[in-house]
Structures are given as structure tokens and as C-alpha cells.
């Protein structure tokens, strides 16, 4: 079985997995990182959104071979010790989560957006395609605006 070495949340890891195994399964099943959620497995719901070299990706459709030598960041890697990332803090302040299942992916998508656009418009925020079955989109938008103001 091939070995794959990459960084996850700042730590180098090596896993033995088939080249085409979805990165999501490597993260969850082999490394025990459960923040990225399995929703659809076909890049539609985006509950698994994580970052690959700082860009939002959906590890349910990214083969582990694509992570070789790269930096993967999950929701677990956002906080700085006990200090939450500004987007995580804004999520709490805006009371975004209901069931919470999609929230790690939503937060990771928001962080990626704010890296590209420090002052996103409503249209920029609404272009985030992550699905929230509870319908907290208004609070998500407000949390992203709050985080943008605090960055």
C-alpha cells in the first residue's frame, strides 16, 4: 500500500492508503479527525469543507494522493490554543449553529472567503455553496460580516 506524507493542522503525518482513497476518509478514519463531516460524498453539501494549502476544498472528492507534501487544515486547526479564530468567535456571538452538523464546513468556507475578500458583499457571502439544512443562512451572513470587521 502506498504511503502519503502531508501536514494536517501543522503536524506532519504519514498514512498508508490507496492513492484514490478520499482525503475525508483518511482524515476521519485513519487520523481520527472528525471535524470535517461526511454529508454527501459527491461535493454537493460541502459539510466536509477543509483547506488544502489555504484554499477551500471538499475532501470527500479529493484523493489522498493530491495532499502529498501539502498542508491540510481542518476546523480543528483554526484556533490558536484556547483563542478561537475570529470566524469561530463570530459564529458564537451570532448564535449561528442549530444542529451544528454543517458548521465546521461553513466556518472553513467563510475563512477561505475572508482570506480572499476582507470586506465581502452579501453576494460574495451568498456564493458560498455550503448547505445548511436548518436554514441559518442569515446568521451565517451576519457572522461573516462580524468576523470581517474583527480581522
User: Using CB atoms within 10 A of its CB, is residue 33 exposed (0-12), middle (13-18) or buried (19+)?
Assistant: buried
Contact 85, 79 (CB under 8 A): yes
In terms of residue numbers, what domain contains 127? 86-150
For the segment 23-70, what is each residue's pLDDT rounded down to a tens digit?
999 999 999 999 999 999 999 999 999 999 999 999 999 999 999 999
Residues 98, 130 within the same domain = yes
Q: For residue 3, give the DSSP letter.
A: E
For the segment 140-151, what is each residue's pLDDT rounded down to a tens digit?
999 999 999 999
Specify the pTM. 0.96
Q: How many domains does the chain have?
A: 2
Average pLDDT taken over every residue of the chain: 97
Neighbour tally for 22: CB within 10 Å: 20
Q: Hunting for cell 461526511 — which residue is that?
A: 38
Residues 73, 90 within the same domain = no
Residues 91, 37 within the same domain = no
Predicted pLDDT of residue 94: 97
DSSP secondary structure of 68-137 = TTSEEE-GGGTSBTTB--HHHHHHHHTT--SS-TTHHHHHHHHHHHHHH-SS--HHHHHT-----TT--H
For the segment 15-24, what is each residue's pLDDT rounded down to a tens digit?
999 999 999 9
Q: Hunting for cell 479564530 — which residue is that?
A: 85
Amino acid at each position: 500500500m502506498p504511503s502519503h506524507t502531508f501536514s494536517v493542522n501543522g503536524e506532519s503525518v504519514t498514512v498508508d492508503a490507496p492513492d484514490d482513497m478520499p482525503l475525508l476518509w483518511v482524515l476521519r478514519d485513519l487520523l481520527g479527525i472528525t471535524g470535517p463531516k461526511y454529508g454527501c460524498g459527491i461535493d454537493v453539501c460541502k459539510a466536509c469543507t477543509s483547506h488544502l494549502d489555504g484554499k477551500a476544498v471538499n475532501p470527500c472528492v479529493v484523493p489522498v494522493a493530491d495532499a502529498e507534501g501539502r498542508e491540510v487544515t481542518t476546523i480543528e486547526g483554526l484556533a490558536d490554543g484556547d483563542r478561537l479564530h475570529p470566524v469561530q468567535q463570530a459564529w458564537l456571538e451570532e448564535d449561528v449553529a442549530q444542529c451544528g452538523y454543517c458548521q465546521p464546513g461553513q466556518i472553513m468556507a467563510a475563512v477561505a472567503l475572508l482570506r480572499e475578500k476582507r470586506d465581502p458583499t452579501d453576494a460574495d457571502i451568498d456564493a458560498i455553496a455550503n448547505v445548511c439544512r436548518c436554514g441559518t443562512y442569515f446568521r451565517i451572513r451576519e457572522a461573516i460580516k462580524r468576523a470581517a470587521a474583527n480581522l
